[in-house]
Chains A and B, each alone.
Chain A
Amino acid sequence: MAKVNLDLPEVQIRELRLGSITGFQGTAKELVSAARCGLRDKNRSFSQCLGCSTGNAACMVVLIRDAAVISHGPVGCSSCLHEFAFTYRVNAPLRDLEHPTQRKIYSTNLDEGDTVYGAGQKLADAIREVHERANPKAIFVLTTCAVGIIGDDVESVTDEAEAELGIPVAAIFCEGFRSKVWTTGFDAGYHAIARKIIKPPRQRRSDMINVINFWGGDIFTEWFEPFGAKPNFITPYATVDSLAYASEAVATIQACPTLGSYLAAALSQEFGVPEVETASPYGIQQTDRWFRKLGEILGKPDVAEDVIAAKKKEYIPQIEALKKKLSGKTAFVTAGAGHGHSLLSVLAELGVNARGAAIFHHDPLYDNGKEESDALAQRVRDYGDVPNINVCNKQEFELVNQLARTRPDFMLARHGGMTLWGAKLGIPSLLVGDEHFGMGYEGIVRYGERILETIENDEFVKNLAKHAINPYTKWWLAQEPYVFIEGGAEAWRAS
């Protein structure tokens, strides 16, 4: 069955659409094989603040250059979005944007009365006011828990406004309580974009490749140049127009499949843009495969071979040199699915022994349904198993427990807040924000150098560890990390 259905206002949540889960403890190999037979999610009897879909949906629309975003809810449901306004300004030079404009972010500021009487009219008025004030090319409306429960008909309100104003007005259904998998927010944002922004192609452009990504540095202009193509970055820093004609691209690639899964599938199924389905290019072997797949789709397999050969000639010796220095070191990884799996491949190339990973959730397969997109399976196949894979749902208490237990030489993290716990334990910890940093052969070199630097400059974490404040009880740190996962320790030992 097709995963993408643009006739429906709401995207189906990941738990139902992909069978994604948020709790698991075992090895990488066990997770991959269990995932092929269908995973059953496990609840926790203790949990900490997690994050929800609305923030993820927001980050895929707030950075569209000429759009405005309305959060339909109480004022708190959009209170972290100023961070994306900062990102937009600070990273603008990476995308050759000289004058980043102020981000247009609004809240309908619902109060108690609105939850009793409904807030549809308030939203309708807000859309018109925002149109007047900001004159955007499109307006996105993010839904919130309160609105989801009281049952405002957001779809009708946005459709009516769209007809009246003559610009796309897209509802994004991303209430926090709907899904336990917060990346559902990406899908919700993309669903709205695919329904309301992307237009049927007028032509097929062999010189344009869609890159689904966040806001990292541009490595792709150089990568695509030999293929005679340019990146079309979506969705951050895109314009409403450039998004609309993403449908004309020759292919779609993604920085991370858990990010772009839904949009890549929608572009492929609905607009005929082929997706590079092989997992993202992390590690030497996967980078080989990825360039070959790209060459195949573009009809330029020779170019791909030339690129691979030239790059390998340049970077393999550097990787070998780094490997000598890092060989035998141990690491722990914490990151979102997809990206975390990729980092495990990068570590393997550097000769680092991964002691485990706390990965936020797990998608058995992505929207394209292809096993070749599964970066964890690819990691296991290329480099072997990884112990202590904890699908942790961003639960800090489990991470702290695992770190204290595995005591790696360093920790790699993506997503804020996690390095603190490495540092408190005196473990050198590195967070790389740029999602493109580790890609390709050169990415292995870049990571290797940063890891060496992190291990070398450990004075700060060693000092912090001496004075660290730790709210976790001794009892907890002495338990197995999964005692609060449904079934507890016994279930896991039995399996």
Chain B
Amino acid sequence: MAGIIEQERYTCAIGALQSVVAIPKAVPILHSGPGCGNMIMGFFERSTGYAGGNTSPCTNFSENEVIFGGVERLRQIIKNTYKVLDTELQVVLTGCTAGIVGDDVESLVDEFRDEGKPIVSVETPGFKCSNFEAHSLVVNAIIDQYVSLHEEGRPYRSSKNTVVLLSSVPYQDPFWKGNLAEYKRLLAGMGLDAAVLFGPGSGGVDEWKRIPEANFVVLVSPWYGEPIASHLEEKYGQPSIQFPHIPIGANETERFLRTVLEFAEKQGAKIDRIAAERFIRRERDAYYEEIDNLATFLLEFRYGLPNHAHIFHDAGYVISLSKFLLHETGIVPREQFVVDGTPEQYHAALRDELASASDKREIPLYFEPDAGKAQDICRNLTHSGRGLIIGSGWDKELAKEKDYDFLSASVPSPYRLVLTSHYAGFTGGLRVIEDIYNTALASYR
């Protein structure tokens, strides 16, 4: 049984409505209580996209729908959504009310689909799972109820150099847009054409239609999104290569690209190995030109820079930032806190992954979705030297208490705007460096 949670770092299943918002010209239609959309909008902030937030249609369950069911109300809302909003994909998401009452949303949505509407339904009552998990439910529902209707002329796995890219959960990862664009650019450097399902670099619903012809799946994730990869394997026979965390900086980005290259060759993609290696070399050289130039500052800056860090984030960021800080900035990762509700069956593998960061030191790792409790652990730790906390807005207060530097890099955070900047890849690593040391330098005035 799940325990209480203080200071939420993720939200409930219906939070996956943001995965719909992330698809250009798609609209989430909520069959839920009146407050669900607002709660999600407030959690992510500045995240309304094309038709999210106050624009999203919602049945706004009242006592009447709880008692008599809300299917007729939903039918009316869907019908009128087509009149009021200009959208290319509609995804109906259910909340707790509809879930408990037991409305048959699927049959209703089938009726609209039978009329040729691009509409999908998915059950996301808040008590079912977290938004990390519900993201997979939403993606799989769109594949089954929309993509599968547009398979004609797209033989499975026919496009050998096309890959489906699955990475972080849109909006839950504040850098999702920038990261996706960077993955796409990096994979293009390997000679691969990535179908990107979310964000401005995606072609909207047409991009989704490319899924069946893709040769394989690239999954960059510590655990979430796995059900999508296994679903695609089952449905289209697409194998997947999983990289366990966002690659940040030169070491991990190189490892990521080589892992993908090797897999792509095995899957029969046409790879120009020489061109790919040339691309990697150019990226690496450009990266180290900056590090080389910066090293004097990192080594000599005499007024004080952070020498150790605690991170509160999802498993992917905790592991990748720990590795990156240790090897590519010289900041030592101390106790780390995974606050994403990672299911227990993944803990051991993720511990091993973090352990691989160093053969001479152990980095203590806590899996604690109750982030308030995680903070209490951190509050009682002491390390010598200047400290850094990377986390959400909640952690700014902890950093102040501990007199640590603070970098906001996780939701929810009212303290930082992220537009299209990215932490993935070679240049993502440089961005992390800029953010950390600009934060430290801003303390001098």
A residues apposed to B, CB below 8 Å: 45-55, 70, 73-83, 85-86, 89, 102, 104-115, 122, 126, 129-130, 133, 144-146, 149-150, 175-180, 182, 394, 396-397, 417-418, 469, 471-473, 475-476, 484
Closest chain B CB from A123 CB (angstroms)? 9
Report chain A residues within 8 Å CB of B34. 49-52, 176-177, 180, 182
A396 and B56 CA atoms in complex are apart in Å by 9
Interface members, chain B 11-46 (any A CB < 8 Å) = 11-15, 27, 30, 33-43, 45
Give the complex CA separation of A113 and B8 in angstroms: 20
Q: For the complex, is B306 an interface residue (Cβ under 8 Å from A)?
A: no
State whether the Cβ of B83 lies closer than 8 Å to any Cβ in chain A. Answer: yes
**A residues near B84, Cβ cutoff 8 Å:** 46, 397, 472-473, 475-476
Contact, CB under 8 Å: B35 / A55: yes
B4 touches A49 (CB 8 A): no
Contacts of B83 in A (CB 8 A): 46, 473, 475-476
What would 21 A/B residue contacts be, using CB atoms closer than 8 Å? A45-B77, A52-B38, A55-B38, A74-B12, A74-B125, A76-B14, A76-B126, A77-B126, A82-B7, A82-B393, A86-B393, A109-B2, A109-B4, A126-B4, A144-B96, A145-B97, A146-B100, A146-B126, A176-B36, A182-B34, A471-B87
Pairwise interchain contact A149-B97, C-beta atoms closer than 8 A? yes
Against A, the Cβ 8 Å flags (1 = close, 0 = not) of B51-66 are 1011111111111011
Residues on A with beta carbons closer than 8 Å to the beta carbon of B33: 52, 145, 175-177
Known interface pairs A75-B126, A80-B38, A145-B96; A47-B8 also in contact (CB < 8 Å): no
- From the candidates B12, B87, B97, name the one contacting A79 in the complex (CB within 8 A): B12
A182 to B35, CA, bound (A): 9
B contact residues around A79 at 8 Å (CB)? 8, 11-12, 15, 39-40, 42-43, 412
- Min Cβ gap B245→A in Å is 24
The answer to whether A50 touches B127 (Cβ under 8 A) is no
User: Which of B30, B50, B62, B81 counts the most chain A CB atoms within 10 A?
Assistant: B62
Asked if B268 is at the interface of the complex by the 8 Å CB criterion, the answer is no
Using a Cβ–Cβ cut-off of 8 Å, how many residues does chain B contribute to the interface with A? 76
Cβ-based interface call for B76 (8 A): yes
Rank and list the top 4 A-B pairs by shortest CB-CB distance, nearest first: A80-B42, A52-B35, A76-B12, A49-B37
With A76-B14, A417-B48 in contact, is A51–B38 under 8 Å at CB?
yes
Given contacts A76-B12, A178-B63, contact A47 B96 (CB under 8 A): no
**With the chains together, A104 CA to B370 CA distance in Å?**
12
Contact among B12, B38, B127, B397 with A89 in the assembled complex (CB-CB below 8 Å):
B397
Chain A residues in 8 Å Cβ range of B131: 76
Q: Is the CB of B4 within 8 A of A129?
A: yes
Which residue of A has the minimal Cβ distance to B15?
A76
Instruction: Give A49 to B76 CA distance when docked, in angstroms.
Output: 15
Output the least CB separation between B413 and chain A (Å).
8
Residues in A neighbouring B394, C-beta threshold 8 A: 82, 85, 102
In angstroms, how far is the closest chain B Cβ from the Cβ of A46?
Answer: 4
Q: Does B420 contact A (CB under 8 A)?
A: no
Taking CB as reference atom, which chain B residue is nearest A75? B12
B105-143 residues at the A interface, CB under 8 angstroms: 125-128, 130-131
CB distance from B129 to the nearest CB of A (A): 8
B80 adjacent to A484 (CB under 8 Å):
yes
- Known contacts A74-B12, A105-B6, A106-B372; A83/B414 CB under 8 A: yes
Is B295 part of the binding interface, using a Cβ–Cβ cutoff of 8 Å? no
**Chain B residues closer than 8 Å to A109, beta-carbon distance:** 2-5, 369
**Shortest distance between the CB of B341 and any CB in chain A (Å):** 9
Q: How far is the CB of B48 from chain A (nearest CB, A)?
A: 7
* Neighbouring A residues of B35 by C-beta, 8 Å: 50-55, 77, 176, 182
B95 interface residue, CB < 8 Å from A?
A: yes
What CA separation (Å) do A280 and B263 show in the bound complex?
70
Q: How far is the CA of A126 from the CA of B43 in the complex (A)?
A: 23
Q: Is B86 an interface residue (CB 8 A)?
A: yes
